[in-house]
Structure 1
Amino acid sequence: MLSDQDYQKLKIFIDVFFEWYTPKYPTTPDGTPSQFLEKIEKESLANAKKGMLMSLNDSIEWTSKWTSEEVAEADARMELAGTFTLSEVRRQYSKKFIQILRRGKIISQSEYYLVKGIADGEV
């Protein structure tokens, strides 16, 4: 499961990702994702952590077709914001990536780009 320390740092990640990369619509709620999670925390930290993991998977899926240059740019911005990079989040929290690792082979183009993006983000 998600440690309390990682959860707090990921709240910064998800807020920065939302601010910089998520399209906004007239129906987009006010506030940040971490403010929403903090409301859930009052009832159940475990449920807030589950919500965080769902949000991370959405972010990973949203960026699955990004080029290595786009990932590198996001990584640099996240690092400056003092949080996990997109590459770190992809490596640690991508359900799809974990499935690929367990299976031991890539079976689609989207899986290829996910793995390539993670590999390109490693230093």
Structure 2
Amino acid sequence: MMNVQQAIEKFRTFSPQEKMDMLVHLAHALTILARDTYIVTGEGVAEPARLRRITEVQHRLLGALIALMKQETTRYPDEVLVRLVLEHSDDQGLQDQLLETFHHLTAQLAAVITSQRHRADGE
């Protein structure tokens, strides 16, 4: 599994479109992580503090996505954004889940990029 610094370095290599793709998929993955906070047999929340953290991460991530889509120059630098999303010293379990998810998604995105480049080279 990658660490935060490796995640920053990987994210920096992506084009703006690839960054948008990554952030959309990460936002989707956050909704799945949030399900772990629910009470299994009822309507309540078993881990409200973690759910709030996930919601805050999603808020920051989607704000960054909007800024990228609008090509705003005042958006978070890549390093700051990745740290905001991945670093959670108050919840090591969440941090580990986010790092694992980020690693998985970057691997998927890299495979798609490689496939697209091969198709472009073959045409």
TM category (shorter chain) comes to 0.3 to 0.5
Larger C-alpha radius of gyration, 1 or 2? 2
TM-score scaled by structure 2? 0.34
| Greater RCO, 1 or 2 (C-alpha within 8 Å, sep 6+) | 2
